[in-house]
Structure 1
């Protein structure tokens, strides 16, 4: 297979072009190996390009940031900028002298907005664009309009004809364990798992020092392995600390590091009262389902035997697909989970201002009378602000779920639209 066939066009490319057209500094952030460098080089092949992974550039950037920036072309892409945060105040000064749009395209494998003092350096001068690992729509070379279609109310009941033999594509469980990092998609399942283990080892041994001081990096690995077994569960830092024999403050510090490196996502709890949202318990999700499956020891053949764990993995997978699509659909959307005192839950709550949508995830191919109860509770809490609810399931047809605002929708629609 040639190199071109390995390249997946990224749906975020037009967003980056639009940002560079009117903003001096655009920062493309996302986990290592998710495709940031390839996206920057292929979308803007005429821009000068420098990677701070190269020792010579890294050395000069750290020890003489002003001289480094002064010697650059008028338009430049700087890769892995989190490795030399000293550059950011100098970039600010350069932009203050010349605010032409498109001067700096930065990429980073750590969330610069969560790094101390960094977010202050370029406030008002840059736009952040978040690149996720490949979505299933990008793997299928589709535009990824599921979220847009849902929010616009354009999904309607539909009875689907049975698929033709061989036309169904990879099974859902195969998509789960494959994840979205481009490189392991070229490999057999066993070799892909080995790649992910080496990937994590590299991040823990090297990249972690770019974002925080850690005395024992092995503890961070152990925490991530434990979180892989608890993806899509409520975060309980005290229990994690007890199981790992660590102080709770240490666990919270490590959780922040894992967020900075785009390995972990905390999904906050939704509440009708905005103030109460801040004190309710978030859910924790590993960003990439393939990495989560490898760390949890889950394989495609575990789909039936490990049904509960696979269900949690599926929930994290769906949430990742939706949040990734939001980057090119509507970056003003916010995402939550819902759980009330009676433990009625909705896996994902989407909000735009007061407008609210709900999304439930179900691994089964069949529906029952209890499906949609969480959505009904959420709709009651929201009143007129509730727009619509979906139950994503592993079936074939788009079916009504009682209330006209609720639909059961096949999982495959995430990547077919």
Structure 2
């Protein structure tokens, strides 16, 4: 079992809030983490995809009132949205009775739907945390970063005994998501159409998103493509990185960049089944960029509005900008053993004057690359991001 960096933060959030929503795609390890947290205190666990557990909630208020002094873990809670109003009443009742707040850990794999449902009913009573696939900072010494990059961070893929078993798990995961999980959410999109869209995103990993071009390839209009994109973002399978658009007189790119969030799924969608095949594939650079972006987002628990990229018409460009408490970090991301700054990165740093600037490369040694810019390996960069998060 891999120890997750988010564990202590979730425990702290439960101590401070009546309810905590833990978001993450299916199979990312939410249930395992929730059970680990629950094992240290009186608790009950209900899986709302299991008929026997759903049957216990025929009268949810009556059932849950008997467990006001326990941590109640509700898995896949977005499937029973009417529970949120009940939870609000029970939280308020527990407060009046002096029986604690009634702690609830709510697990879900559909981000916007769950956040909308919970924020309407549990306003002022709920905190949100997102569990990403395993990050480089969470790896045991025996697992190299290259294996995490190749296989992705879903635990069963990462920890598979053989490379072929990892590939097969990811293939089955993709098929199950398309053929079962997404239709269960009430979305009526043919599985093959969504697979083609997902695969196109993998081919364009880290590229600017043009809905019209995708639409022409899929035979649908740009609005439909935007709906597909928003669905995959909501399911926490795709990341949209918005362009920087403030405090500059330069003419900037306005289109977002899209990434398949898990590098292993990206590779499987493209038919890449080994590390050697990855090294020879045109997606190599985009895959490394997406991998680093996801690790930084996870290590810093950064919201989408804290991450962006910079690209001006004249060629000035920064792969990733990280914002926190008014401070901006500029990060260039290239899979190389000999990092060299481009004129575009230098120009962009002159435009934005970031507080810190890094070149995230494929090596491990950390050293000054230019005035105010450090070459840095991924693990050490994540330590910097985590330290900044802890300090704030």
Q: Please confirm whether the aligned pair reaches a TM-score higher than 0.5, indicating the same fold.
A: yes
Residue of structure 2 aligned with 1:182, choices 129, 132, 155: 155
* Residue in 2 that maps onto 1:391: 359
CA shift digits 1:237-279 (9 cap, x unpaired):
11111111122222111211111211111011112249x9999
CA distance in 2, matches of 1:193, 1:179: 10
Matched, 1:360 2:332: yes
Equivalent positions of 1:14-413 (< 5 A) are 14-45=8-39, 46=41, 47-58=43-54, 61=57, 65-67=60-62, 69-70=64-65, 72-75=67-70, 76-99=72-95, 100-101=100-101, 103-112=103-112, 117-140=117-140, 173-184=146-157, 185-273=159-247, 280-298=254-272, 299-306=274-281, 308-327=282-301, 334-368=306-340, 371-383=341-353, 386-403=354-371, 405-413=372-380
Contact 1:176–1:290, Cα closer than 8 Å, also in 2: yes
CA distance in 1, matches of 2:25, 2:168: 18
CA shift for structure 1 position 362 = 1.1
- Most deviating of 39-48 and 96-105: 96-105
Q: Which TM-score applies when normalising by structure 2?
A: 0.86
| SS of equivalent to 1:98 | helix
CA shift digits 1:60-81 (9 cap, x unpaired):
65x6554554455532111111
CA shift for structure 1 position 205 = 2.5
Structure with more relative contact order (C-alpha pairs < 8 Å, separation 6 or more)? 1
- Most deviating of 118-127 and 283-292: 118-127
Structure 1 segments of 4 or more deviating over 6 A? Answer: 276-279, 330-333
Q: Which runs of 5+ in 1 are unaligned?
A: 1-6, 142-168
CA shift for structure 1 position 175 = 2.9
CA distance in 1, matches of 2:279, 2:166: 22
| SS of equivalent to 1:221 | helix
CA shift for structure 1 position 372 = 4.9
1:117/1:397 CA distance change after superposition, 3 Å: closer
CA shift digits 1:78-132 (9 cap, x unpaired):
1111221221122122223334446111111121456655532222210001110
Q: Which runs of 5+ in 2 are unaligned?
A: 385-392
CA distance in 2, matches of 1:219, 1:69: 42
Contact 1:58–1:83, Cα closer than 8 Å, also in 2: no
1:355/1:22 CA distance change after superposition, 3 Å: same
CA shift for structure 1 position 48 = 1.2
1:311/1:77 CA distance change after superposition, 3 Å: same
* Residue in 1 that maps onto 2:389: none
Q: Which TM-score applies when normalising by structure 1?
A: 0.82
CA distance in 2, matches of 1:235, 1:30: 24
Q: CA RMSD in A?
A: 2.8
CA distance in 1, matches of 2:342, 2:11: 40
CA shift for structure 1 position 399 = 2.5
